[in-house]
Amino acid sequence: MMSAQDQIRDMVAKNDVVLFMKGTKMMPQCGFSSRVAGVLNYMGIDYLDVNVLADAEIRQGIKDFSDWPTIPQLYVKGEFIGGCDIITEMTLSGELDTLLEDNGVAFDKDAADKIREANA
């Protein structure tokens, strides 16, 4: 059986976008996870959601893997991007659009613009 670190490494390597979160993309179980999943869902991004509440080893393992103490954690093309505050800032500044475009990840640009308009 693979260690939590190996499982995490495998998930991050095999999926363009991975969100380690509390709950699932359809049923988030904390406000911060809900906010990030909501942005990804609204922008139509295809991503793997990993419910850290379902596995204590993954829950601790992702914190060790990224050296980041909180959940949610977003990875794009194997790179740790950040948690809720960072993703929110990147969405509002347009940096997330650029990151996704640079990495060939499909998303709805109109939806991203609508998020920014609603928060202007």
Q: Is 30 exposed, middle or buried (0-12, 13-18, 19+ CB in 10 A)?
A: middle
Task: Identify which of 71, 61, 80, 81 has the alpha carbon closest to the alpha carbon of residue 3.
Answer: 61
Q: Which CATH architecture has domain 4-113?
A: 3-Layer(aba) Sandwich (3.40)
Residue spans of alpha helices (H) in the chain: 4-14, 31-42, 56-66, 84-93, 95-102, 109-118
How high is the mean pLDDT in each 10-residue block of the chain (120 residues)? 94 98 97 98 98 97 96 98 97 98 98 95
- Domain boundaries, given as residue ranges, for the chain: 4-113
pLDDT at 2: 87
Distance between CA atoms of residues 19 and 33, nearest Å = 9
pTM for the structure as a whole: 0.96
